[in-house]
Amino acid sequence: MKLKEAYENYSYNNIGQFRALSETLGYKTEYHDGSYLFHKGDDSIQLSLDEIRSKAKENRNEQRAEESKEKVCSFFDKNKANEPSYIEELRKKGISVIRWNDIKGENKDGFTIIDHNRKVCYTGQELYEYAHNTGNLLDGKGTKLEKGIMSDLMDIGEKKGKLRMSENGISVFYRKETLTIPDRILGHKLNKTEKERLLHGDIVPLDTKRGTIMLQVDKDLNSVIVRSSKEIKIPNVIGKTEEYDGYKLTKADKYLLANGHTLESKLMHSKDGYILADISLTDDKKGIQFSNIQSITEGKAHELIKEMRPKLEAVNPVIENKVSADKGRDMDSEFKEAVGKRDFETIDKLREDGYKPSEDYIRGVGKQLNLSDNEMKEVQNIFQVKPDELSEHQKQAAKLLDAASVGNFRVIQDIQKTGYQITQNDIKAMRENGVQENTIIAVQKIFGLENKGKTLGDVKLASSPKPDNTKEMARPIANTVNKMFNDL
């Protein structure tokens, strides 16, 4: 191709790129008083700087440049970009790479890429920025990261690490020599239980200002990472419609789902009516799946909803705390305020400052401010409220009850591994202490017990009329499955 034709048809940004183009076509360049003379054998063309700049502006085609970058990313290997043999290999594919040692006294662009098939020129920096923003690794194999999914462990320069594509491009996570569990993540202070769960490899949900995030120790990286919503996707509410607010997942629910457990017999609403269903994550942890689906009448569903609603009227007992660490500071008021806000970080800070309320005081404040059983146990856990001296079996039973009360499934699994034989008395104690039914179900599964506990589907409602016809209790299940959850 003659340079005159390339001058008219190629897309290039500036004089430097046009000079690179002329070089790839075999032309030599001479500069004389504001003009370049390009010549090859008997063919020559003289162009002023203004003419080249004007034509560059006229010919610039961003669409061709984007198409070229996408194609080049599918085979370009950045680790071989300086090898002459690889440059020759690219030339056979219609791609020229011109490296600049010095442009106007500085290493400005590094190198220019010329795609002769698409007649377009751009800088190596542009190619690398495109690859960064689209998740292309430029490894010669066309490997492209899926947004939000962590890559396998690989060599990144002289270090080992992983990559993940996000809204801001590719993020790099290097392997650490020593595992360190941080005290805070995104403003949330990790408590002892959360740290222990992370150390044992569990996925730990945290409620932050950005919403619920999932933490886990990546064994390859030897560090705590935040799992993206593409890697673990757990909604806050399931089965919401205009008629029903849906089943709102608790922190314990999210922990169970993330770590492979099933939530059994949850009330939800579909376009075909109310149902009870078991909820679990799909194998890839990217979605919710349902099983054991039962349709129920609207009347029974409304009774269940009423049964599940928290008490709206708070009890206001007379509360007196006899222990306050700092007489010049009203720690009781600070404690009450923190409990009311469910601000466990501030509660833990009060403990560090020497505040130690009695167990009766904790229970009184919790009752006054309508704490759930799990929230109450969390406060008690912060202040390390412990049972009296017991036998070894009683200690294990107390430890199991305490772990079930706060949803610490790692401790529960450790107790099971010691050979402890769980009894129905343990299950009874959990119910009497307000342990959530889904937690009890999970405990039974860990110990290999058949689930004999009540579920929402088994609840006997005092005001529920006995149906005259049992067919009213169920809709065709196939029809329910096919049409449900269109709003999820």
Residue 457 pLDDT > 80, yes or no? no
Q: Average pLDDT for residues 102-121, to the nearest whole number?
A: 74
Between these two residues, 34 and 104, which has the higher pLDDT value?
Answer: 34
Query: Is 107 in a helix, a strand, or coil?
Result: coil
In this structure, which amino acid lies at residue 307?
A: E
Q: Average pLDDT for residues 472-480, to the nearest whole number?
A: 34
In whole angstroms, what is the distance from residue 58 CA to residue 47 CA?
Answer: 15
Q: Are 225 and 216 contacting, i.e. CB atoms less than 8 angstroms apart? A: yes
Residue 467 pLDDT > 60, yes or no? no
For residue 14, the model assigns a pLDDT of 93
In this structure, which amino acid lies at residue 120?
A: V
Q: Which two tokens stand for residue 307?
A: 């049964």
Residue 71 pLDDT > 50, yes or no? yes
Residue 246 pLDDT > 50, yes or no? yes
In whole angstroms, what is the distance from residue 475 CA to residue 464 CA?
Answer: 19
List % helix, strand, coil for the chain (3-state, nearest 5): 40, 20, 40
For residue 391, the model assigns a pLDDT of 65
pLDDT band at 450 (very low <50, low <70, confident <90, very high): low
Q: Are 216 and 202 contacting, i.e. CB atoms less than 8 angstroms apart? A: yes
**Which among 218, 264, 280, 313 has a CA at the least distance from the CA of 451?**
264
Render pLDDT for 42-55 as a digit per residue (tens, 0 to 9). 999 999 999 999 99
